[in-house]
Amino acid sequence: MKSSLLITFLFLTLISCNDTTNKNNVAEPKDTATRPVTDESLFGYKISWLDSSKIIYQVDTFLTHKGKGFLCDSVIAIDYTGFLGEHTYMPLNEKGQWINTIVKRKKLTDDQLQLIHSVFGDKKSFYNPMMVGCYEPRLGIVYFKDNKVIGQSAICLGCARLESTAKLGNGDNYSSFSEHTLRRLEQLCSELQFSDCKHWQK
């Protein structure tokens, strides 16, 4: 009787060990396989917001680039990375904090500001748009008046697409644009000596 109980116990123990071994041999998914596309470790950088040089952010949603555009005291062009995975960012958040990926800033001349207004405010800029399935802004424009930010824009030359808090010439705030528009914005980018200026060369 004792020997049969002992054999049964050993048999059950053996089965239990085999089950554990089999479970350990099952391939578990690695962390990298289950990480979301927006995981900063896949891109080599992260997006955060800087508390230094905080700005008064009072965007005027009634502004439009149409006609002569709107009046500003100064306009700053920003060379930055404004995307992480599928998420996109303007240079400033609603708390008036600058994004951490800014490489360079330059004040626009009056002529350069007029170029922005003439391109953004003309509905023809958005006729026959280049249809590129992405949006990765790297050129930002920030508009100041009375020491406050009243608007901002983000431009992706590589994807021929832009957005602005002020209305564009086609009535939208976010739109793809034409190859002619791309060339004009590339020229501005080159004048500023920013880092991401040439795309879709013939």
Number of helices and strands (H, E) in the chain? Answer: 4, 11
pLDDT of 93: 96
Question: pTM above 0.85?
Answer: no
pLDDT of 60: 95
Instruction: State the Cα–Cα distance between residues 185 and 196, nearest whole angstrom.
Output: 11
Q: What is the CA radius of gyration of the chain?
A: 27
pLDDT of 36: 38
pLDDT of 25: 31
Q: What is the pLDDT along the chain (202 residues), one digit of tens a residue?
A: 545 544 444 444 444 444 433 333 333 333 333 333 445 556 688 999 998 778 999 999 999 999 989 999 999 999 999 999 999 999 999 999 999 999 999 999 999 999 999 999 999 999 999 999 999 999 999 999 999 999 999 999 999 999 999 999 999 999 999 999 999 999 999 999 999 897 655 5
Instruction: State the Cα–Cα distance between residues 65 and 169, nearest whole angstrom.
Output: 7
pLDDT of 78: 98
pLDDT of 201: 56
pLDDT of 39: 55
Instruction: State the Cα–Cα distance between residues 73 and 134, nearest whole angstrom.
Output: 33
Q: Which two structure tokens, joined as six digits, stand for 45?
A: 């950088």
pLDDT of 199: 62
Domain locations along the chain = 2-34, 55-192
pLDDT of 148: 96
